[in-house]
Amino acid sequence: MQVISKITRQKKNDQRYNIYLNEQYAFAVDESTLIKFGLTKGKILEPFDIDEITYEDEIAKAFNRGLNFLSYQMRSEYEVKKKLLDAGFGEAVVLEAIRKLEKLGFLNDETYSKALLETKKKTAKKGPKAIKQDLIKKGIDKETQEKVLNTFTYDEQLKIALSLAEKTAKANAKKTPMQVKQKIQEFLSRKGYSFDIINEILDQIDLEREDDDWQHIVSLQGEKIWKKYSAKFTDNELRMKVKQALYQKGFPIEVIDQFIEEKESE
């Protein structure tokens, strides 16, 4: 027969208690476990009682560890589960702790996903495809992913993508419209926006160049190309190589011809 002979509060953690059976230390429990099982001096414990108490206490410890992990920032169920498993808690204990965290409102994947969506929209300016990958990495199930991503409206996406496109265009002012268009397409695609959004953005944004702009741009890019090919080719071959390279970059034929004429007259 096992009888609780003494109960003492731990010095380093006043939420934990040491349980002594028949004058010998037996195990420690969380305060919640102590209360739940009504552990008091003189209480008789059977072997199955001790197993149940220690199992419940493991859940309490896992719960507290998870709660502490969540206190720094919101986490997904997957992240909390991984954290607790890595800490050495058993699978069954972890699942019970997670159920308790969910029941008390400390853990909710839908709430977490909505918060993640808002953060990625506002800070990283990400589109649905990129945010979906973030949700997948956090272990969010498909149903929740779709439910949350559906709140990211087309108009919202268009507004954010347009601001990104305008910044990209401004940063590439020394490039041709074709080059800028390619930069915008690549950037918005990496950010996770659909082809429909990208195409609509390209229809809206003004990429036209004035004559003076063309002359400045062709001078900047053409000089590098001319120098590159003049070391290998001369006369007609040089003209053709430069013309082809500039045309592929989106320069109009008349701008190219004028640049070549000026170079040959130097």
Longest dimension (CA), the chain: 110
Percent of the chain with pLDDT over 90: 78
Q: Do the two domains 2-103 and 154-204 of this chain adopt the same fold? A: yes
Judge whether residue 35 has pLDDT over 80. yes
pTM here is 0.81
Name the fold adopted by 2-103: Arc Repressor Mutant, subunit A (1.10.10)
What digits encode the pLDDT tens for the residues 78-130?
Answer: 999 999 999 999 999 999 999 999 999 999 999 999 999 999 999 999 999 99
Q: Compute the average pLDDT of residues 166-183.
A: 94
State residue 147's pLDDT score. Answer: 97
Judge whether residue 146 has pLDDT over 80. yes
Q: Counting every residue, how long is the chain? A: 266
State residue 97's pLDDT score. Answer: 97
State residue 211's pLDDT score. Answer: 81
State residue 213's pLDDT score. Answer: 86
Q: Compute the average pLDDT of residues 134-150.
A: 97
- Of the given ranges (84-93, 147-156, 180-189, 221-230), which has the lowest mean pLDDT? 221-230
Judge whether residue 1 has pLDDT over 80. no
Which among 31, 32, 29, 33 is positioned nearest to 19, based on CA atoms? 29
d(CA 81, CA 102): 12
CATH of span 109-149: 1.10.10
Paired tokens of 28: 């420690």
What digits encode the pLDDT tens for the residues 250-262?
Answer: 999 999 999 888 8
Provide the residue ranges of all domains of the chain, joining segments of one domain with +.
2-103, 109-149, 154-204, 211-264
State residue 86's pLDDT score. Answer: 97
Please, which residues have CB within 8 angstroms of residue 105's CB and are 6 or more apart in sequence? none
State residue 87's pLDDT score. Answer: 96
Please, which residues have CB within 8 angstroms of residue 175's CB and are 6 or more apart in sequence? 183, 217, 221, 249
Q: Compute the average pLDDT of residues 19-43.
A: 92
Q: Compute the average pLDDT of residues 176-181.
A: 94
Name the fold adopted by 154-204: Arc Repressor Mutant, subunit A (1.10.10)
**What is the secondary structure of 16-55 as a DSSP string?**
EEEEEETTEEEEEEEHHHHHHTT--TT-EE-HHHHHHHHH
Q: Which residues are 12's β-sheet partners?
A: none
What digits encode the pLDDT tens for the residues 198-217?
Answer: 999 999 998 888 888 888 89
Q: What is the mean pLDDT of the chain?
A: 93
What digits encode the pLDDT tens for the residues 46-81?
Answer: 999 999 999 999 999 999 999 999 999 999 999 999
State residue 212's pLDDT score. Answer: 84
State residue 129's pLDDT score. Answer: 97
If you search the block for the tokens 């915008």, which residue do you land on?
Answer: 184
- Of the given ranges (154-158, 205-209, 245-249), which has the lowest mean pLDDT? 205-209
